[in-house]
Amino acid sequence: MIQLYNYYRSSASYRVRIALHLKQIPFTYHAVNLREAKHKSEAFKAINSFQAVPYLIDGEVKISQSLAILDYLESLQPEPTLYPKDPALRAKALEIALSLICDLHPLNNLKVLNYLRENAKFNDEQIMAWMHHWFHKILAPLEEMISKNKQTRYALTNSVSIVELCLIPQLYNARRFEIDLSKYSTLKTVESICLELDAFQKALPESQPDYV
């Protein structure tokens, strides 16, 4: 059985949970409370020296980084696939996913916020200004890109892809930081269609055993 170390409101963990539920892969949930800094404990450091979640263990296989985990799950259980079949759409899906995983998420991550507060001495107002700046920098071009494609049910095709696995958790983070999403009607429509699906419901932060 796959072991997943994660935290209910970690957006990187949320991506992986959606994939596990979509692909109906059973897993054991291990909660790592980031708020209580359990990821920095010696016990967790011995499991994942990067001191972050998600972290997946499948027998001898041990993987950090959500994108690598998603790739592993795709190889284990190819259907339903996380990638469009068409090469151009597949590249587009990865382009969007990477803009969320690599360009946006690191800028609203706990360790970055802690650094801004503790080392750069940002106050709450400066933290919020930082958040607003970086969320809009990525969400605005995504809205523009995805709104041009009005023929499909999801962002790029008629099936869920890696795009939605990355987008929905970042919209969740955006709301946590009170980002005004009113300009992103296409992104919100994709989100509401996804949230009708069982896999997304099961992966929601509030559906997790460690949710508070």
Ligand X SMILES: N[C@@H](CCC(=O)N[C@@H](CS)C(=O)NCC(=O)O)C(=O)O
* Residues in touch with ligand X (CB under 6 A): 10-12, 34, 39, 52-54, 65-66, 101, 109-111
Nearer to ligand X, 34 or 194 (CB): 34
Nearer to ligand X, 40 or 137 (CB): 40
Nearer to ligand X, 65 or 81 (CB): 65
Least distance (Å) from ligand X to the CB of residue 172?
11
75 exposure class (CB count in 10 Å sphere: 0-12, 13-18, 19+): exposed
- DSSP class of residue 102? I
Least distance (Å) from ligand X to the CB of residue 114?
7
Nearer to ligand X, 64 or 186 (CB): 64
Nearest to 50 by CA among 98, 97, 109, 130: 109
Nearer to ligand X, 54 or 186 (CB): 54
Nearer to ligand X, 34 or 156 (CB): 34
Least distance (Å) from ligand X to the CB of residue 85?
25
Least distance (Å) from ligand X to the CB of residue 147?
26
Map residue 119 onto helix, strand or coil. coil
The residue written with tokens 């170390």 in the block is: 5
Least distance (Å) from ligand X to the CB of residue 158?
27
State which amino acid sits at residue 32.
Answer: V
Nearest to 40 by CA among 55, 29, 30, 50: 50
Yes or no: say if 156 and 5 are a contact pair by the CB < 8 Å rule.
no
Structure tokens at 34: 């980031």
Distance of CA 11 to the CA centre of its chain: 4
Least distance (Å) from ligand X to the CB of residue 117?
12
The CA radius of gyration of the chain, in Å to the nearest whole number, is 17
Yes or no: say if 35 and 193 are a contact pair by the CB < 8 Å rule.
no
